[in-house]
Amino acid sequence: MTPSAPVSAPISIIIPAFNQLEYCRQCVHSVLLNTDLSYKLVLVDNGSTDGVSEFFDGVPGATVVHTGRNLGFAAGVNRGLEHAEGHALLLNSDTLVSRGWLGRLERALRSADDIGMVGPRSNLVSGSQQIDGLEFTSMGEIDAFAAARAESHAGQVRDVARLVGFCLLIRDKVLAQVGGLDESYGIGNYEDDDYCVLVLRAGWRLCVAEDAFVFHYGGRTFLGMGIVEEDWRALMDENRRRFEAKWDLKPGERIDAVQQALEVNRRACAALEAGDVAGALRLFKDAIALAPHEARHYNDLGVALWQAGDAARAYDHFTRALRRDPHYAEARENLRHAAEALGRAEDARALLQRLDSRKD
């Protein structure tokens, strides 16, 4: 994919918070001081009782949302997204950003049109965004580390299977396509994992901007609510079970397998565009083997089979795509074209009617 043009709309920075006034002050002040792009600041007071509400109301130029009670992270973010323009940047209230942070994240997002979400590296975050062994005693040390990393890793972007929601830049087209976060995760945890699966399955890439660093205190909101130790583990276990039940991820359907299958699909599409139909067929089959639940791989294999002159098998694969995703508009259109060529228009209409009744 070729890089996209710079965006004209401001990036909406959404900061949800429940209490922890001092951390909120530090976070917002670092954003006001160090953000180098046009942005819209959306502050969501999730029912705070310690002065956060009044502090947010006093931030110049900010759009402030008061929920009246603690709705949880996902719901707080979603109330903020209702006021978003352009791309959206979700930011925890216990983070500190350094000069140039948003520009580096935005450049990573723009580096390819199929990148849907981007996150930075950090000192305290789960997964591959973590940089171990970091200790800071001042904002000056954080700024110095962030600047050095920006120089040593300038422009480096890495594909990943998962991004953490503590600092997450989401493309505007992703928001339009898949919407906001799942609020059923309550107070928090696993809503970002959930969103990553949703975005991956919609065909977008997740990437880490290796030159971007955001400091994270970590867990301050939960600490302030007294959710520690056993209560924390219980919340994690409950939401993990919710996540696993929702997605029913089998060993062959792990998030990393979804990401790998999308990369194989991209290579297959490039091969097909270059006229290598045999290579494309092989790669689309590899993508299906990696993520057999994904409708797009069956549809794309059907397109390759159509170009290879095998209309009957193409029809079968468009059917398989629609059985996995009855809403898939491209597969529905492809099925109709194949059915007309094969004289099976009535079969296709009957199939689509059955799928539509199943959707209802």
20 and 119 housed in the same domain: yes
Residue 258 has a pLDDT of: 67
Domain of 275, CATH number, reads 1.25.40.10
Q: Measuring CA to CA, which residue among 86, 87, 67, 85 is closest to residue 76?
A: 67
Which of 248, 274, 301 marks a domain boundary? 248
Q: Can you give the pLDDT at residue 30?
A: 97
pLDDT score at 358: 59
Burial profile 281-307: b = 16 or more Cβ within 10 angstroms, e = fewer: bebbebbbebbbbbbbbbbbbbbbbbe
pLDDT at residue 218, rounded to an integer:
77
Q: Considering the entire predicted model, what is its pTM?
A: 0.68
Please name every residue paired with 216 in a beta bridge, in sequence order, or none if there are none: 95
pLDDT at residue 276, rounded to an integer: 94
Query: Helix, strand, or coil here: 61?
Result: coil
Q: What is the pLDDT of residues 48-65, one digit of tens each?
A: 998 999 999 999 999 999
54 and 149 assigned to the same domain:
yes
Question: Do you know the residue count of the chain?
Answer: 360
What range does the domain containing 85 cover? 11-248
Mean pLDDT of the residues in the chain = 86
Q: Which pLDDT score, from 0 to 100, does residue 203 have?
A: 83
The CATH number of the domain where 34 resides is what? 3.90.550.10
Q: Which of 197, 241, 200, 236 is nearest to 219 (CA)?
A: 236
Pairing of strands 115-121, 205-216: parallel
pLDDT at 101: 97
Residue 5 lies in a domain: no
The whole-angstrom distance between residue 8's C-alpha and the CA centroid of its chain comes to 21
Whether 112 contacts 3, CB under 8 Å: yes
Residues 6 or more apart in contact with residue 81 via CB below 8 angstroms: 12, 14, 88, 175, 180
State the maximum Cα–Cα separation within the chain, in Å, rounded to a whole number. Answer: 73
Strand, helix or coil at 89?
strand
Per-residue confidence (pLDDT) for residue 248, from 0 to 100:
67
The single residue listed with the structure tokens 């409708």 is 295
Q: Which residues of the chain have pLDDT under 50?
A: 1-7, 222, 224, 226-228, 250-254, 359-360
